[in-house]
Structure 1
Amino acid sequence: MTMIRFNPFRELDSWFNAYNRSLANQGKENPLSADWKPSVDIVESDKSFLIKAELAGVPKDDIQVQIDKNILTISGERKSEITDEKHHRVETFYGSFSRSFSLPENVSEESIKAESKDGILYLTLPKHEPKEKLKKIEIH
């Protein structure tokens, strides 16, 4: 027999989370949608940076990756799957998302590669040697 520990605050916590979501979504068309930020991991190796963004349920056609003025932005939308059926719990965020990151000077913007696999977006940002910005001026 398995013993389950009683937690009287579990349902209360769930109710508060739903309440906070509803406050965040006041005035929006779908009360169950919200702006959300997917989780992101950034890993650095000797040759590149790897950005992994959790985008489960977002088709790759609904994801945009752009670079503007040395800022990498991942954006898109997870469309709601809510139907007219009775839902007992909805914890998945739906709606638009956007994450932006400043790129280091040693990233080769022209060589960035993107792949979407199993609900994860993989961005590989190869490194290059930064151009020398310090120019020594000879005094005559």
Structure 2
Amino acid sequence: MSFNILNFNESLFKNEYFSILIFLLIAILLSCIIVLLSYVLSTQNPETEKLSSYECGFEPYEDARQSFDVKFYLIAILFVVFDIETMFLLPWSISLSQLDIIGFWVMIDFIIELGIGFVYIWYIGALEWD
């Protein structure tokens, strides 16, 4: 069994994963070079004015660390849930002609369940802002 280094290299360069690996290594190398150059070439003289927070050119009136209302988090979670729903609906709508009747009714069931969830959220007042 002979191992020909030339054939090995040719097959390695023809492999599609090798080109992705080379691209990834070049991207990492260039990123490291840019970060290193910016650190080496920058002037580092920290001042109190540079390190202070910027609030439209004047001192802030009150502390910026205030607690948020839970309503913000609820709206954000609802947005994520209904945004992920579109992630499931888009491939289904594209491949609708290739699905059989079972795939069609499974997605109709999914849409109905999402509609019930939306009506429930609306009913309990989660979308109302008081």
Q: Verify same fold: TM over 0.5.
A: no
Which has the higher relative contact order, 1 or 2, with Cα contacts under 8 A spaced 6 or more apart?
Answer: 1
Task: Tell me which interval the TM-score lies in, with the shorter structure as reference length.
Answer: under 0.3
More helix per residue: 2
More strand per residue: 1
TM-score, L = length of structure 2: 0.20
TM-score, L = length of structure 1: 0.19
